[in-house]
């Protein structure tokens, strides 16, 4: 059996629905095998041909976030492989599993340990480059190892703290003949059961919950990664205590729940940070407590509280903030065990504390009443809040970088089954356009996929409009147009005496006519000029059946609200 045919069957049996592709000679054999199998079984390995490898890596990153199933991306050697690295980084820093297959020059063209700079054409040691941002990266030179390496890579991608994996495959290995029944298999190591002392520590946390006056939960991206959204809600409601969120945990707890107490951190809500500081017991669930959360003085973070920190990665514990108790556990497992302990005895009534935290948060919104008074442009906080209100209860909003992600995290109010998708840790410009493709390909229009992106970010992956058009992906694209690199311009105002080098039309950056670009790709478009037509145009875009681009005029001076 041809090895590439074996791989196609392996991915089909594993249940890979989509195969994201940017073709090239070094990966052509595997693409051919996968496409032939798809022709036989249209439900698997559906090919989506992107126009840049970076875009494909971002698309499968978002696909995995919305489906909880590892995406698959194939690219050729050399520049094809290196172009994947930005999207791989997005997945690695946010703990998103993904499977990347790169082609490589034939084994006899590989320089190996030689000190030559390059031997084969487009030979690049992508494994060494990718290792720092993957859970596993390997060059397969012996065809007999293919089953073992595929099984190991997928196990590595999904076990423990998830992340991307990369398999580099020389051309001659792809076309090699193998005997599937004679291939060795990967045997995963046995998972170690929780120790008695760790179980006793869970009982200690339950005892603290019963005696605390102001217990609080802080949830991070690990809640979604662990599939623990319903468990988080059950825990909060059982204890009747406030829930704070980080950027990564923003859509893990509905904002219309009376236990919701706001977004914390440098870009968070002042009231939420005050609730954090008033707490006497803080359960940190699935958050690594990044610098943007603990801010410049980590020793002052929740300084009145006993801190219980739960993160599946031991290396994230007791780094910036020392915990009273720390668990390198799956957060879902921890919540379930804690709830068993809490249900064994009566819990105190924390309704007054929860109600006070909720009301305190409600009195300090990011979108202030005076923002609605602007007449000649759209205020970004007003746009984000209005869009959030008009979205259906199960829509998905994919958000880009810079000021874009700040407005989205601060002003949207996720409810019911709504999702917010972005690359929290890596946050590259241009992410949300291809990421929205990955979401829309899966959802097929129901629920809807919405995308917000700056005028600068839009131009980074503008070529994917052709992919969106070709596959008729019903993405609603809102270009948040401030005619500059807004976040950098804001930084230059505060740090560089407003010298806007490389940031605005006077100094090297300029936005094109986005409606003309839309016409070139034969995609419907419109413009929102001011608040006067905001709701009408939003309604038009949301009701449009196919892909559509909306240019939103924000004016030239935009800002991010701090500590409202």
CATH code of the domain covering residue 444: 3.40.50.970
Considering the domain boundaries, does residue 227 fall inside one? yes
| Distance of alpha carbon 218 from alpha carbon 384, whole angstroms | 24
The answer to whether residues 292 and 404 belong to one domain is: no
Considering the domain boundaries, does residue 124 fall inside one? yes
Considering the domain boundaries, does residue 564 fall inside one? no
The answer to whether residues 43 and 158 belong to one domain is: yes
Considering 155, 182, 209, which residue would you say is the last residue of a domain? 182
The answer to whether residues 420 and 318 belong to one domain is: no
Outline where 351-413 has alpha helix (H). Answer: 351-362, 380-390, 403-411
Considering 182, 217, 250, which residue would you say is the last residue of a domain? 182
The answer to whether residues 142 and 211 belong to one domain is: no
Considering the domain boundaries, does residue 507 fall inside one? yes
> Mean per-residue pLDDT for 67-84?
96
Which candidate, 301, 204, 304, 195, places its Cα nearest to that of 246? 301
The answer to whether residues 345 and 429 belong to one domain is: no
The answer to whether residues 152 and 301 belong to one domain is: no
- What is the average pLDDT score of the chain? 94
pLDDT score for 27: 97
The answer to whether residues 311 and 382 belong to one domain is: no
The answer to whether residues 273 and 291 belong to one domain is: yes
Yes or no: say if 95 and 163 are a contact pair by the CB < 8 Å rule.
Answer: yes
| Distance of alpha carbon 479 from alpha carbon 317, whole angstroms | 39
Which residue segment(s) compose the domain that 35 sits in? 3-182
The answer to whether residues 351 and 427 belong to one domain is: no
The answer to whether residues 250 and 337 belong to one domain is: yes
Q: Above 70 in pLDDT, residue 109?
A: yes
Considering 160, 182, 204, which residue would you say is the last residue of a domain? 182
CA dihedral 530, 535, 536, 537 (to 10 degrees): 60
Sheet order of strands, 136-139 included: 46-49, 18-21, 71-75, 98-104, 164-170, 136-139
Considering the domain boundaries, does residue 190 fall inside one? no
pLDDT score for 294: 87
Which candidate, 508, 205, 515, places its Cα nearest to that of 335? 205
**Max alpha carbon distance in the chain (Å)?**
72
> Mean per-residue pLDDT for 96-109?
92
> Mean per-residue pLDDT for 99-126?
83
DSSP element (H, E) containing 478: strand 475-481
Q: Give per-residue pLDDT as tens, 286-312.
A: 999 988 888 878 888 999 999 999 999
Helix axes 196-211, 331-342, angle to 10 degrees: 60
Distance set, CA 487 to CA 265, 478, 556, 557 (Å): 18, 18, 12, 10
Q: What is the pTM of this model?
A: 0.95
pLDDT score for 292: 84
Within a 10 A sphere around the Cβ of 138, how many other Cβ atoms? 20
pLDDT score for 131: 98
Could you report how far apart the first and last alpha carbons of the chain are, in Å? 64
- Number of separate domains in the chain: 3
Distance set, CA 42 to CA 71, 365, 472 (Å): 17, 48, 18
| Distance of alpha carbon 559 from alpha carbon 557, whole angstroms | 7
Considering the domain boundaries, does residue 562 fall inside one? no
Considering the domain boundaries, does residue 37 fall inside one? yes
The answer to whether residues 213 and 149 belong to one domain is: no
pLDDT score for 193: 75
Question: What is the CATH classification number for the domain harbouring 249?
Answer: 3.40.50.1220
| Distance of alpha carbon 240 from alpha carbon 258, whole angstroms | 10
- Lowest-pLDDT range of 61-65, 146-150, 193-197, 284-288: 193-197
pLDDT band at residue 252 using 50, 70 and 90 as cut-offs: very high
Q: What are phi and psi of 97, to 5 degrees?
A: -70, 150
The answer to whether residues 344 and 374 belong to one domain is: no
Q: Give per-residue pLDDT as tens, 381-404.
A: 999 999 999 999 999 999 999 999
Q: Above 70 in pLDDT, residue 564?
A: no
Residue 346 burial (C-beta neighbours within 10 Å; 0-12, 13-18, 19+)? exposed
Yes or no: say if 49 and 21 are a contact pair by the CB < 8 Å rule.
Answer: yes
Q: What are phi and psi of 166, to 5 degrees?
A: -135, 130
Considering the domain boundaries, does residue 191 fall inside one? no
């Amino acid at each position: 059996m041809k090895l590439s045919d074996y791989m196609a069957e392996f991915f089909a049996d594993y249940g890979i629905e989509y195969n994201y592709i940017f073709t090239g000679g070094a990966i052509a054999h595997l693409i051919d095998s996968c496409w032939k199998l798809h022709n036989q079984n249209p439900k698997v390995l559906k090919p989506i041909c992107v126009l840049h490898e970076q875009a494909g890596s971002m698309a499968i990153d978002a696909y995995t976030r919305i489906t909880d199933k590892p995406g698959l991306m194939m690219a050729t050697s050399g520049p094809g492989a290196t172009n994947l690295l930005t999207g791989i980084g997005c997945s690695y820093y946010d703990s998103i599993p993904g499977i990347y297959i790169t082609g490589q020059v034939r084994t006899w063209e590989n320089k190996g340990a030689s000190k030559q700079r390059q031997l084969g054409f487009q030979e690049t040691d992508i494994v060494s480059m990718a290792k720092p941002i993957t859970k596993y990266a390997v060059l397969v030179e012996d065809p007999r190892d293919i089953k073992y390496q595929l099984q190991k890579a997928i196990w590595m991608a999904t076990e423990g703290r998830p992340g991307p994996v990369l398999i580099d495959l020389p051309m001659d290995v792809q076309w090699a003949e193998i005997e599937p029944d004679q291939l060795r298999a990967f045997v995963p190591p046995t998972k170690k059961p929780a120790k008695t002392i760790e179980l006793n520590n869970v009982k200690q946390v339950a005892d603290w919950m019963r005696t605390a006056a102001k217990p609080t939960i802080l949830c991070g991206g690990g809640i979604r990664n662990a599939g623990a959204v319903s468990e988080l809600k059950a825990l909060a409601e059982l204890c009747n205590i406030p829930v704070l969120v980080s950027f990564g945990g923003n859509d893990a707890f509905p904002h219309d729940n009376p236990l919701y107490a706001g977004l914390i951190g440098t870009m968070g809500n002042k009231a939420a940070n005050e609730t954090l500081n008033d707490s006497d017991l803080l359960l940190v669930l699935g958050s690594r407590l990044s610098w943007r959360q603990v801010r410049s003085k980590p020793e002052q973070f929740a300084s009145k509280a006993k801190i219980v920190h739960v993160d599946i990665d031991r290396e994230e514990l007791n780094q910036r903030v020392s915990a009273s108790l720390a668990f390198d556990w799956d957060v879902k497992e921890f919540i379930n065990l804690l709830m068993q302990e809490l249900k064994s005895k009566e819990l105190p009534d924390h309704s007054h504390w929860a109600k006070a935290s909720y009301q305190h948060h409600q009195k300090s919104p990011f979108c202030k009443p005076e923002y609605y008074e602007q007449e000649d442009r759209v205020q970004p906080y007003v746009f984000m809040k209005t869009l959030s209100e008009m979205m259906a209860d199960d829509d998905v909003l994919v958000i880009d970088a810079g000021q874009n992600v700040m407005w989205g995290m601060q002003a949207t109010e996720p409810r019911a089954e709504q999702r917010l998708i972005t690359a929290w840790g890596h946050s590259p410009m241009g992410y949300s356009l291809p990421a929205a493709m990955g979401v829309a390909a899966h959802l097929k229009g129901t629920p809807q996929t919405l995308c917000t992106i700056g005028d600068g970010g839009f131009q980074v992956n503008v070529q994917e409009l052709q992919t969106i058009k070709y596959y008729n992906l019903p993405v609603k694209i809102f270009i948040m147009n401030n005619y500059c690199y807004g976040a950098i311009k804001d930084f230059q105002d505060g740090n560089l005496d407003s010298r806007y080098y490389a940031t605005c039309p006077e100094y090297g950056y300029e936005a094109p006519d986005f409606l003309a670009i839309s016409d070139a790709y034969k995609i419907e478009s419109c413009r929102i000029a001011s608040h006067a037509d905001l709701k009408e145009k939003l309604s038009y875009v949301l009701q449009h059946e196919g892909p559509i681009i909306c240019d939103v005029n924000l004016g030239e001076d935009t800002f991010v609200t701090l500590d409202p």
